[in-house]
Homo-oligomer: A and B are copies of this chain.
């Protein structure tokens, strides 16, 4: 494995050298190279070597350095337990104490409660308390993402005092680019960027410089909404407050980028009907385990479709050619439904779809279904007529496509809107699900029409 890293002239990290140094237990050579790496690259190296080599590495890398590495690590949830089990518990506790509280809480979230509380008792008291508080917030809320390590000053302070505070707290603060302004009761009053601070005279008072229309989020707010706010307002950090507007913590942009990545992958995987996009290096068995639930559900839904068609066996045996168009009509219904669903789900996810234009969207989709249905219906009628020399059959298939497309497009937008209203994640009404629903609708329409007009067809 070669990790690429751009330097003065783009160079490659010498993975061979690092491994060699670990194998020969050459501490100096290893550290000379390793400590020069970006923590992300350190983490890449760390996760890709063998357990034996990692055992040497733990002796060569201090808990404080490992803390930085773990803040930049990208591993699956189940791997946290594995890696931590390799280390000495005291080493783990020391590492966790050195991590930013929000990152440490993320790690402990992946462990079972007993393990987590064991590490907490061994941790540095102050750090443990900060982490403990964060663990109390529900997952996927602003509270679970925030860190209490921010810089704040009171409104009546001067610029020079604020700069002094900032320099003192810089080593521990997760960002120093915003200074948050509070009253004596820790109520958030405003925000000041380091930019403003730097270009202002030393004796200016914070209250006069600060922006008092500060965008903040509630501690209970959903992480997706936090992400929208930070994106819309181009924020590097957002303050988190309680109901009474007391400042509790901040959320930094790097955590939000991870959230956006997660949410996007999540919506995407649901559209594809996978509970979770398994990473590339998982085993076939673990991949199969994640996909089977969906496949089995869809299998039973497919069986319903089959039994529905079974009701029309009589019709089918009278005119076998009807069977030929089943996948076409079902497929078109599924496709148009997925298109409409995607627009609605993304609209809900990105916050573009607000209350008053939901009805507008449904009307729009009805219109869209009408147009696409009419055009596809006419095209199909023509093709079937030319191919089978049977205008009535063509008209039957065309009419089915026309009605199906209207109904399926509407269903594609109504189902996610309805689920959103019921407070179910609309992405669950994913591609395969809406496809199967529309399959059933399309078959009812097609065979309904066919059975009704059968005596003309024969």
Contacts and interface: CB of A to CB of B under 8 A. Distances in A.
A213 interface: yes
A187 to B, nearest CB: 8
Interface string A310-331: 1001001100111111111011
Given A260-B257, A272-B341, A296-B376, A303 B284 contact: no
A5 B214 CA distance: 9
A17 interface: no
Interface in A3-51: 5-9, 36-38, 40
A60 interface: no
A236 B187 CA distance: 28
B327 A316 contact: no
Contact of A320 (B233, B320, B436): B320
Interface residues of A, number: 132
Contacts of A347: 277, 279-280
A383 interface: yes
A334 B72 contact: no
A299 interface: yes
A194 B215 contact: no
Interface string A257-284: 1101100110111011110011111111
A336 B439 contact: no
A370 interface: yes
A288 to B, nearest CB: 4
A277 B187 CA distance: 42
A341 B214 CA distance: 43
Contact of A281 (B268, B360, B370): B360
A96 interface: no
A291 B412 CA distance: 14
A458 to B, nearest CB: 14
Contacts of A372: 288, 291-292, 295
Nearest to A346: B277
A435 B439 CA distance: 14
A170 B188 contact: no
B371 A284 contact: yes
B166 A198 contact: yes
A143 interface: no
Contacts of A185: none
Contacts of A310: 321, 324
A353 interface: yes
Nearest to A212: B8
A364 interface: yes
Interface string A227-244: 000111110100000000
Nearest to A297: B335
Interface string A369-391: 01110011001100100010000
Given A177-B194, A309-B327, 4 more contacts: A167-B199, A177-B236, A261-B350, A299-B379
18 contacts: A72-B233, A236-B236, A264-B264, A273-B335, A274-B343, A280-B361, A284-B370, A287-B367, A295-B335, A295-B376, A298-B331, A298-B332, A310-B321, A313-B320, A322-B323, A323-B323, A331-B435, A335-B432
